[in-house]
Structure 1
C-alpha cells in the first residue's frame, strides 16, 4: 500500500483524492488555509452566505452534471437568472452567448471540495503551508517540510496543486539528487505560467436590487469592474429583501489597489458599481468585505510538451490545477485533478 501526498485541498486536490478513493492507498492532503476548496470558497456573515472567489460550477459536459448529482441533491442550487455582458462603455445588456446551468449549494460552493473529500478516507491537514520538498537519497519517496519546520511523509507519490507561481516556489525549494536537470526544466516551465490578480469586494445592502440578470461580465476586458453578481439569486444565500453584490475587479485595477484599506477600496468600487448598474443607492453599502486573490486565474497554461513533466512523473512528482488544464474554470480544475489522480493511482 502506497502513501500519496497532495499539496493543496482546492478543487484539483479534492478531485485527485476522489479519483483515488477506491484504491488501497493512503492519502494525506496538506492545506495552507483553515478550509478546503481553494478559490471555490464561501463565507458567512450577518445571515448571508457568499461565494467570493469562483461563483459557480458550469455544467460543461454530462460527466460534470452527473458528478454533481452523485455528490448529493440536497442543497444543490441551479442559478436561473442569466449572465449579461457589458463593455468599456458600461452598458449592461443581454448576452448572445448560450446560457448554461450555474451550480452552487445553499451552503456555498465550498461544498464541492467538501463533498468530494467526504467520499474518501483522505486525511486533510489544514493550516499546513508547504515550504520545501525533498526526494530521498534512494530516489524512492518524497517528504514535504512545512513553514513550521514539520516534515510530512514519506510519500510514494506527490501531487502539487497550488497556483503555478506558488508551485514554482516549491520547486525552487526542492532537493532532488540525480534529477538529470529535470527539476530546473520543470521549474522553468511552471514559472513561465502567468496568472492574473483579482480583488473581490463584497457589498451588502438592506434593500433588494431588482435586475433581470444574475451577473454581468466585462467582455472588452477594459472596464475597472470585471464581474458583478447578485448573490441573492442563489437560494439560501441572502435573506429576502436584501442584496449582496460580489464584485470582482479587473486585473489592472486589482493589482494597483490590491493593498488599499478595505473601506477606501469599497468606497471606490461602490461608486463604480452604482454607475454600472444605474442605481445611486449602491454608493452606500451597509457592510462590506473583501478577498484578494493574488493568483486568481491563469492567463497561460503549462506547456503539456515540457520536457521535464514526464521525468518528474516517473519520479513520482505530479502537477494538477486549472493552470495545467489551461482554463480558469472550476470544472477544468476538477477534472484535471481527477485525471492526474487516476494517473497517480495507475503508476503505483
Structure 2
C-alpha cells in the first residue's frame, strides 16, 4: 500500500513509522523546508555592532514534552539510548528569585526539537517544499495537486492529512464534507513567539531556566541556551518568549515590528534586573495554529474512511501535548492496518 501523508510533524511521522514497520510504503509531504511541524528550531544569522557574524539557535515551537502513555514513553526511552532525547528538569523562577522544580519528567530532543520527528521518519521518503493544494480520487488511486506550476503526485492507495484543522478543511471537503465541518469548528489558539539574544550582564548565573509570568503579554520565557544539548555562547543569553494566547489573538494581524517591540519590553521587564538589557538580535514568529484544545472524552484521536482511503490525524484531534500528536498518528496507522 502506497500512502501519502500530508504534514511532516509529529503525527504524520508517527503514522509513517508505524505503517513502514507494517510493510506499507508511506511518503511524507510538507510545505516547509524542514520536517518537525511545531517541533521546530530556528537558526538565525546576524551581525553585531562590530561587524562580527553570529549564528543562534532557538526552539521557537513546542518547548518540551512528557510521556504518560507507555508507547510514547518507549519512544523517548529509545531516544535517550540513541542520544536524540535528553531530560530537562524544569526549574522555574519563584517569586523570591529561587528555583522551583516544576516538572522532573520534562524532556527535549537533541540537538534541536525536530530531532524527534527525524528519528520517527528515519527511512521514510520525505518531500519538502510541497504544498498540497487539493486531493483527487482517481481510478488508479489518489492524486495530490501540488500547485499550478507543479506536477501532480498520483498513484497513492491512501492519503492521510496530518496538518492543522483549518488547513485540512479544503483537502477533505470534496470527499468528506462532514469531516470538513467538524474540522472547521476546532479552534486552535495562536501564539506570537519572540526569539532574542541579549548581552550577558555577567555575575552569578540564576538557578532557574524558565519564567512563567503571572500577568502581561508573555506566558512562557526560557533560557534556550541552557537546554540540554544546546550551545552556550560566551557573552550571550538566548531567550525564547511565548505570548499568552489571548494576547496573541488580539494582536494576530498586527505587524511584526509592533509585536516585537511590545514583547521585547515585556521580556526586559521580566529578566532585565536593575540594568538595561542590551539586545544583540531579536525576531518574532507568528503561529496561527499553535495550541490545540483538549480532546473531548470519547472522541477518536484519528479519523479513517476505509472505503475512500482517506484519513485525518494530528493534535487538532488528539489534543494539545506533543504526546497527543504522537498517539494520534499511531491511532491513524492502527485504524488503517485493521
Smaller-chain TM-score bracket: 0.7 to 0.9
- Give yes or no for the alignment of 1:49 onto 2:43: no
Counterpart secondary structure, 1:167: helix
The one of 325, 328, 331 aligned to 1:336: 328
Q: Take 2:248 and 2:26, find their aligned partners in 1: how far apart are those partners?
A: 36
Could you say what the CA RMSD is over the residues aligned between the two structures, in angstroms? 2.8
- Give yes or no for the alignment of 1:125 onto 2:127: yes
**Do 2:313 and 2:328's aligned partners in 1 also have CA atoms closer than 8 Å?**
yes
Question: Where in structure 2 are there 5+ consecutive unaligned residues?
Answer: 45-53
Q: Take 2:85 and 2:312, find their aligned partners in 1: how far apart are those partners?
A: 30
- Structure 1 equivalent of residue 51 of structure 2: none
- Structure 2 equivalent of residue 250 of structure 1: 244
C-alpha deviation, 1:239, in angstroms: 1.8
- Structure 1 equivalent of residue 136 of structure 2: 134
The one of 57, 71, 89 aligned to 1:80: 89
- Structure 2 equivalent of residue 315 of structure 1: 308
Q: Take 1:185 and 1:203, find their aligned partners in 2: how far apart are those partners?
A: 43
- Give yes or no for the alignment of 1:110 onto 2:114: yes
- Structure 2 equivalent of residue 180 of structure 1: none
- Give yes or no for the alignment of 1:65 onto 2:73: yes
TM-score (norm 2): 0.85
Provide Cα deviations, 1:289-309, integer angstroms capped at 9, x if missing partner: 221111111135489659x95
The one of 159, 184, 200 aligned to 2:177: 184
Q: Take 2:4 and 2:55, find their aligned partners in 1: how far apart are those partners?
A: 37
C-alpha deviation, 1:230, in angstroms: 1.1
Alignment of 1:1-348 (within 5 A): 2-45=1-44, 46-71=54-79, 72-83=81-92, 99-118=103-122, 120=123, 122-136=124-138, 141-148=141-148, 149-172=150-173, 174=174, 176=175, 183-207=176-200, 210-217=205-212, 223-234=216-227, 235-277=229-271, 279=273, 281=275, 283-299=277-293, 301=295, 309=303, 312-325=305-318, 327-344=319-336, 346-347=337-338
C-alpha deviation, 1:261, in angstroms: 4.4
C-alpha deviation, 1:337, in angstroms: 0.7
Q: Take 2:58 and 2:308, find their aligned partners in 1: how far apart are those partners?
A: 41
C-alpha deviation, 1:93, in angstroms: 7.9
Question: Where in structure 1 are there 5+ consecutive unaligned residues?
Answer: 177-182
Q: Take 1:201 and 1:130, find their aligned partners in 2: how far apart are those partners?
A: 29
Cα distance, 1:275–1:238 mapped onto 2, change above 3 Å: same
Name whichever of 236-245 and 18-27 sits farther off.
236-245
Q: Take 1:102 and 1:303, find their aligned partners in 2: how far apart are those partners?
A: 25
Provide Cα deviations, 1:227-269, integer angstroms capped at 9, x if missing partner: 1111122132332442111111112322333454444432221
Q: Take 1:151 and 1:241, find their aligned partners in 2: how far apart are those partners?
A: 50
